[in-house]
Structure 1
């Protein structure tokens, strides 16, 4: 029996020696054999990230010197290289390069590893894991887009990814902006799935920039982009003022000048306004209206400019291109208006000057009880029967109880009585002189007229000059028209329209007037009308000037009690003149 016990003890000692586990007596083990308690990834794990660090954790502290590239290996398509470290019972294998997609890897801890007591791992520990198809980050949108042009110089450059990114991988190394070989510095931020680059200084005008996001940019799982993402854009051109009217230091500028500036590129209309486009006389700001069309900004002064005065126009760098690029600096220029008023324009009316109303060969008609011709006569080459509703002194021309018009001068017509051969001859000469005056104020005789507001004269203040409707019609409907002589007693206005003239709009408050300012005189205002003139059809209002219309002049409308006033003359060459409660004051 004693021999059997000795034999059993010897067998135990042999096993302990072979296994590396020490015994101090027959019952108790001194130390524990090392084993791998857990791994990362787990054995048979799938879809392992490509950036995975492989670890093996032991049940006890190990001898770090035994954990080497020969005792801890990882093999895929080929053996992996990596950095092996040990700490806190855990051996770590960090691959030098990311793992491959759709690849099975075998990790192995060999029996060469041992614990601090020298006990070796009894059996090699082997486990496998597989990577999958990795969803890599890609740039889905860039701002500016690739090949964008006219990009603002203060542009924030950004890129949006298809997934959340690791913000620490988005930096000046992975997000680069270059202008040629020059590196652009800036501040990089990341929010949501968008990375943004704010240049430290404004971009340069009319330059090509290249933006690169490298494969160093990784998602939140540390998966890199498959390839660099590169795009280009071209910055905007700095706008300039190419020409002005008047030019800088111009002299003898007309008092009704509209000041204009042409730009090198289209501008943002919202930035062309009374703040960015100003006109001053000294320190006094001149009121006016600013309009932008095409590439031209226009400043129309509300009132006529002053004789012999220096004006300064300014377009500030608040004016921006369509892309938002400002002028490099304020653009300033000056000009001087004419020093002396222009010579008087003489319009010879001949014998037509004595008529307050002349109805060609068609007569003159009054409807109402309050029509009066002050300081003048009326006439027509038609028979006296076509003068209706008037009397001059005691001579009555077809008046009725409801149609009474007083002519303070005389009435000149053809027979029958009270028309006479003598009055007919006077009327004929008046018509000849009216025709001559009509031709003398026509575009053929007085060319160069401007259209200040597309045929709409209402609301304007006009300096002396010749004005011609581009469309063939003139209207005074958006307010009263002001004529400003600026103290010039010879200030003359000639208005030319190939077709009609219409003053006023419908409704009880529709009457419009002409306001004379700073010495403007009714005798110096003339209207050339190619067809007919209609003056305040709703009644009321004050019209000014000598109207010479080819095909008739009409004041107010039957039934209107409001008095309509003309300070001037109403002359029609081939049609009648019709008045309803109208006062004509012949200048």
Structure 2
């Protein structure tokens, strides 16, 4: 039987061995991941990304939680060349976000950097500085307008119906195909050979069942309308993606290609600002709703004929509102009582009017 003295000697040796072993592990950061240097797992945009949306925020995802006080404008920077881009730095979870004060310039290279001044929640510095570049979408040159073909001969062109609650005032020609004249209502039409007239229309009214060459002309125009819709919907590399989450009320919109995957609402007046040669294309996968008494206005020479609203859902202009631009609608267009429009309504279903003023762009 071992003596108490012998047992004590072995126990002391074991304790000393374990203590030395654990100190050695700690010195190598083994077995204690909290002391490992944090790393950057990913960035958005990624390094060398091109055609980045000009309203995008820049994000960094870290390998672990960081000390929020070390994630700031000194450690997380964004530059265009040597010029710092003004913006706000925020941090949540394991992600830091740099939100520019203004939209990015078109077709420019930007450089983002996160320095080793950023530290983990345990106070361990980032393993190394991380820098990456990306290039924004678009260019300073105007994008190409959408070619309407012969659909551009009509201020209103529809496929299934044009319904009007009198009295409206329309300047420009109306066309309906493949539906017949009976689906044009509320205009008190006067029939002529190949077209009709109305006291509410400064122009002529055409339908698929009228005398030649009206049916073939309308078939061509409707085909051109569908081609124009597809052209607008198919434009790639948008300048702006999900801008303001689809609520553009009160905003000023510069030229470019815009894309939304849901509805767009206009609860307050909007300004479209640009030169006479600038082009705007709005790709909207949902509905477009303009609230009552809200106006879309043009500034700095912008032209309604160069503004294209490609809308997969329904387009609704509220009572007393004012709309500018060419509407290319897959589903239908409704102008509520007293709404006005400077532009064109090209619908692959129906157009509904209620005491409206509609003028084709000059």
TM category, shorter: 0.5 to 0.7
Give the direction of change, closer, same or farther, for the CA distance of 1:492–1:307 in structure 2 (3 Å limit): same
Partner of 2:220: 429
Q: Distance in 2 between matches of 1:519 and 1:246?
A: 34
User: Would you say 1:547 and 2:327 are equivalent positions?
Assistant: yes
Partner of 1:523: 305
Partner of 1:441: 232
Deviation, 1:409, is 2.7
Q: What secondary structure does 2:246 align onto?
A: coil
Partner of 1:366: 164
Q: What secondary structure does 1:426 align onto?
A: helix
Partner of 1:258: 56
Give the direction of change, closer, same or farther, for the CA distance of 1:406–1:253 in structure 2 (3 Å limit): same
Q: Distance in 2 between matches of 1:333 and 1:389?
A: 61
Partner of 2:259: 467
User: Would you say 1:570 and 2:350 are equivalent positions?
Assistant: no
Q: Distance in 2 between matches of 1:283 and 1:495?
A: 32
Aligned residues of 1:379 and 1:412 also touching (Cα < 8 A) = yes
Partner of 1:458: 248
Q: Which has the larger helix fraction? A: 2
User: TM-score, with normalisation over the residues of structure 1?
Assistant: 0.45
Q: Distance in 1 between matches of 2:183 and 2:27?
A: 79
Partner of 2:357: 583
List gaps (5 residues or longer) in structure 1. 1-176, 183-202, 209-232, 400-404
2:317 to 515, 528, 536: 536
The structure having more radius of gyration, on CA atoms, is 1
Aligned residues of 2:68 and 2:91 also touching (Cα < 8 A) = no
1:380 to 176, 185, 190: 176
Q: Distance in 2 between matches of 1:351 and 1:316?
A: 58
Deviation, 1:474, is 2.4
Deviation, 1:434, is 1.4
Deviation, 1:311, is 4.7
Point out the more displaced range, 381-390 or 300-309: 300-309
Q: Distance in 1 between matches of 2:295 and 2:90?
A: 26
Q: Distance in 1 between matches of 2:310 and 2:101?
A: 25
Give the direction of change, closer, same or farther, for the CA distance of 1:438–1:337 in structure 2 (3 Å limit): closer
User: TM-score, with normalisation over the residues of structure 2?
Assistant: 0.67
Deviation, 1:333, is 5.5
Give the direction of change, closer, same or farther, for the CA distance of 1:524–1:243 in structure 2 (3 Å limit): farther
Aligned residues of 2:335 and 2:353 also touching (Cα < 8 A) = yes
Note the alpha carbon deviations across 1:42-72, whole angstroms, 9 max, x for none.
xxxxxxxxxxxxxxxxxxxxxxxxxxxxxxx
Q: What secondary structure does 2:218 align onto?
A: helix
Deviation, 1:553, is 1.0
Partner of 1:198: none
Deviation, 1:578, is 0.7
Q: What secondary structure does 1:458 align onto?
A: coil
List gaps (5 residues or longer) in structure 2. 1-18
Partner of 2:147: 348
Give the direction of change, closer, same or farther, for the CA distance of 1:429–1:310 in structure 2 (3 Å limit): closer
Aligned Cα root-mean-square deviation (Å) = 4.9
Which gives a bigger RCO, structure 1 or 2 (Cα 8 Å, sep 6+)?
Answer: 2
Partner of 2:203: 409
